[in-house]
Structure 1
């Protein structure tokens, strides 16, 4: 007897919820300031904040107590209602910086898909997927922080350009793992 179990796990940066209004990542869609609809955090030193995250779900194909197969869904989203900017303090350079936060999230979704493709079916696949998911989100958060630190939140234009080139190259390298 075959039955399919479905598990959905959503871990999105900053505790965002999957039912929030979202914009899926697309190479053809570029964020505009109109996409940033969240309330401004007047107490923040930041002039803009991008809320983006990876959603992840999987299903297992079971035969008795044995896992025979699995499928996954990994998607990248931007959350307009959680993203904001201070209109009098931003420019196109800051918008490009925010776009690349979104692009970094997509990069890690692709890394996640690549790692998933390398997994073998086993009775511990559920644990393997969950462990991999946690590791990807940890690495994503670390890179987002490093990106801000090295570019000084978009102020260092030379490093901003270097990061943008690096992320674009990595997205291209992992293009087989776009969805």
Structure 2
């Protein structure tokens, strides 16, 4: 059944708050009500916000998570080449995040885990295109995705957060995803998908330098 429970007159620093909590329960659960009230009280009492951002490590069945110790190999490209495509290979990369918040006194501690990924089943290569040079071009697509997430992590550590931190983080994430798409497109346009060797080498240097600037 649907149970509405009104919790009234909960004083926080001399102010009365009206909190309406709606539960879908098979019976009244006072412990669950109290847990929700305590969670809201903690959020209201927050004065300070800290954030930590890390990268997910290891791989899953169809996903390679970015690691400086692991360079892509052609074995990671497990998708079927697209007959209609004019290209020799395609790397499917992207990024997302998961987060949780814990409360310690008047401080909200926000922990973000960034997923910088390469999807093997969506990435493909034609049999006659497997060269070290072509692989380096695809690896740099993955490196660019990683670069964008490092820029995002830097901004999140520097930005001023408030009680609307979830919206702030989501906005920064969306801005970064747009930045990634623009930079990936620029990379392919300027190198002509790796055909122009001088541009390919220039981009490898660019990405390396950009990463070094972030990590200084």
What TM-score comes out, normalization by structure 2 length? 0.68
* Bigger-Rg structure (1/2): 2
Shift of 1:91: 2.2
Ranges in structure 2 where 5+ consecutive residues have no aligned partner: 1-37, 44-59
Distance 1:32 1:68 in 2: 41
2:100 to 50, 56, 59: 59
RMSD: 2.3
Displacement of 1:86 after TM fit?
0.8
Give 3-state SS (helix, strand or coil) of 1:77's partner: strand
User: 1:45 is matched with which residue?
Assistant: 86
Q: Judging by fraction of residues, say which structure has more helix.
A: 1
Could you tell me which runs of 5 or more consecutive residues in structure 1 were left unpaired when the two chains were aligned.
Answer: 6-18
Distance 1:119 1:60 in 2: 17
Question: Higher strand fraction: Structure 1 or Structure 2?
Answer: 2
Identify the match of residue 137 of structure 2 among 86, 97, 100. Answer: 97
CA gap of 1:29–1:128, structure 2 versus 1, over 3 A, is same
Equivalents in 1 of 2:101, 2:174: separation in Å? 19
C-alpha offsets along residues 99-123 of structure 1, whole Å, 9 cap, x if unaligned? 0000000001101111110122311
Q: Tell me the SS of whatever aligns to 1:82.
A: coil
Question: How high is the TM-score relative to the length of structure 1?
Answer: 0.82
**Residue in 1 aligned with 2:146?**
106
Write the deviation string for residues 144-166 of structure 1: whole angstroms up to 9, x where unpaired: 00000000000000010000011
Higher relative contact order, structure no. (Cα contacts within 8 Å, ≥ 6 residues apart):
1
How far does residue 89 in structure 1 lie from its aligned partner after superposition? 3.1
Q: What residue is the counterpart of 1:148 in the other structure?
A: 188
Correspondence for 1:175: 215
Q: Which moved more, 1:51-60 or 1:136-145?
A: 51-60
